[in-house]
C-alpha cells in the first residue's frame, strides 16, 4: 500500500458549514436582489468548482472556457430562481453540467479524439498514462461524481440531486471510482519501486 502525496488544490473550501457558507448565502440573496457586485463575488468563489466540473466532462480547455462562460450568463439571468441560497453551489454545478452537455450536443460528430489533456511531465508519462487509462475507463459520470464530491465539496445528497440519481448510486460510484484510482496509484508506486530497485 503506497503512501499518498499531498497536493495543493486551488479553491477548495474549508470543511463544515461555517462563516464562509453564510457569506455565500448572503451573496446569493444580494445577487437575487439585483446586486451585480455580489453576483461577481459569488462567481469568484465558484470559479474553481465550475472549472473542475466542466473539465470533468469536456477536458479541452477552450471548451471548458466556453461552457463556463455560458454558465455564468445563465446564472446571471436565472439566479432569482434559486429557492434555497444554501443550495446555490449545487444549482450552479447543474447549470455548468447542462452547458457542457449542450456544448457536446452542438459539437456532435466533431469532438476530437484527444479527450485527455497533454501532460507536461515527461518522466512520469508511462505511469501517468496508466492512470489516465484508468480514469478513461472510469467513464465520465464517475469522474464527474468524484470531482463534485471530493473536489467541489458537494454532499452525497447534493451530487445525487445535481445528477438526478439516487444517493446509493452516488455512494457506489464514489467507492468504485476511488477503488479504481487506488489500483492505478498502487500500480504506479510498484513500478516506481521496481525502477529505483533496478537503479
Partner 1 sequence: MRNDRAPERAKEKAQRGYLKRDPEFCGFLAKELDMEKAPESYHKALREIYAELPRDMPVRHYPLRAAMKNLAVTAAVLVVLGLSLLGANQAYPQLTESLPGVGMLFKTLNGTEDAPNLPPVTNTLVVHKGGPKGLHKIPDFAPIQVEDENGLGKIQIQEAWCDGENVYLDVSLWVSEKLPEKAALAEDDLIEARFQESGEDAGELSLRYDGTSRYEGVWKLQVPESGQVGESVFLQLNLGHGYLYMADGSTVNLPLTMPFSLVVEVDKGNAVTLEGPGEDNEYTVESLRYTPGAVTALVTVPRLGYYGYSLLPGISYFGGAAESTPYGLYAVVSGEDGEALWEGALTAGEPQADGLSYQPAALSAVLPPADREKLTLSFYQFDPQDLRRWAKDAGLSQKDIVNPVTAAFTLDLAAGTLEPVEDSLHRVSRLEIFEMYPPFESSQQLYVRGLEPEWEAAGSSWALTELVIGNYTYTEHPAAWVLRGYKDGQVVQTATGCDLKELEHSVDWDYEGVPIHRDGSGELWLEDGSEYELNTFLHVYFQIQYPPGMQGPFDRLELVDTATGEVLIEDLEASYERNLRWVLTAGGYKR
Alpha carbon distance 43, 30 (integer Å): 13
Cell of 92: 450552479
Cell of 170: 452516488
By three-state DSSP, how is residue 114 classified? Answer: coil
Q: Which of 171, 126, 157, 147 is nearest to 55 (CA)?
A: 147
Q: Which of 21, 25, 182, 189 binds partner 1 (CB under 8 A)?
A: 182
Largest CA-CA distance found in the chain, in angstroms, rounded: 65
153 close to 12: Cβ distance less than 8 angstroms: yes
**Which lies closer to partner 1 via its Cβ, residue 23 or residue 133?**
133
Asked if residue 105 binds partner 1 (CB under 8 A), the reply is yes
Q: Which of 21, 25, 26, 151 binds partner 1 (CB under 8 A)?
A: 151
Asked if residue 165 binds partner 1 (CB under 8 A), the reply is yes
Asked if residue 24 binds partner 1 (CB under 8 A), the reply is no
Asked if residue 25 binds partner 1 (CB under 8 A), the reply is no
| Chain residues 72-91 in contact with partner 1, contact rule CB under 8 A | 72-74, 76-84, 87-88, 90-91
Alpha carbon distance 172, 187 (integer Å): 23
Asked if residue 171 binds partner 1 (CB under 8 A), the reply is yes
| Chain residues 26-55 in contact with partner 1, contact rule CB under 8 A | 31-36, 39-40, 43, 47-48, 51-52, 55
Asked if residue 20 binds partner 1 (CB under 8 A), the reply is no
Asked if residue 193 binds partner 1 (CB under 8 A), the reply is no
Q: What is the DSSP letter of 4?
A: P
Asked if residue 146 binds partner 1 (CB under 8 A), the reply is yes
Alpha carbons within 13 A on the beta-carbon side of 22: 2
107 close to 66: Cβ distance less than 8 angstroms: no
**Which lies closer to partner 1 via its Cβ, residue 16 or residue 19?**
16
Asked if residue 124 binds partner 1 (CB under 8 A), the reply is no
**Which lies closer to partner 1 via its Cβ, residue 22 or residue 126?**
126
Amino acid at each position: 500500500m503506497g503512501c499518498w502525496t499531498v497536493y495543493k488544490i486551488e479553491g477548495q473550501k474549508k470543511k463544515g458549514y461555517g462563516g464562509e457558507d453564510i457569506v455565500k448565502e448572503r451573496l446569493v440573496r444580494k445577487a437575487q436582489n439585483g446586486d451585480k457586485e455580489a453576483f461577481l463575488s459569488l462567481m469568484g468563489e465558484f470559479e474553481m468548482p465550475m472549472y473542475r466540473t466542466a473539465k470533468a466532462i469536456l477536458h479541452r480547455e477552450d471548451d471548458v472556457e466556453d461552457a463556463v462562460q455560458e454558465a455564468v450568463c445563465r446564472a446571471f439571468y436565472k439566479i432569482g430562481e434559486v429557492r434555497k441560497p444554501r443550495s446555490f453551489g449545487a444549482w450552479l454545478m447543474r447549470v455548468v453540467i447542462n452547458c457542457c452537455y449542450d456544448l457536446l450536443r452542438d459539437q456532435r460528430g466533431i469532438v476530437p479524439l484527444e479527450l485527455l489533456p497533454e501532460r507536461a511531465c515527461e518522466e512520469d508519462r508511462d505511469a501517468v498514462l496508466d492512470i489516465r487509462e484508468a480514469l478513461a475507463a472510469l467513464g465520465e459520470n464517475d469522474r464527474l461524481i468524484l470531482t463534485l464530491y471530493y473536489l467541489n465539496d458537494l454532499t452525497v445528497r447534493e451530487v445525487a440531486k445535481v445528477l438526478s440519481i439516487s444517493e446509493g448510486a452516488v455512494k457506489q460510484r464514489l467507492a468504485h471510482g476511488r477503488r479504481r484510482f487506488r489500483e492505478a496509484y498502487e500500480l504506479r508506486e510498484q513500478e516506481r519501486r521496481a525502477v529505483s530497485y533496478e537503479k
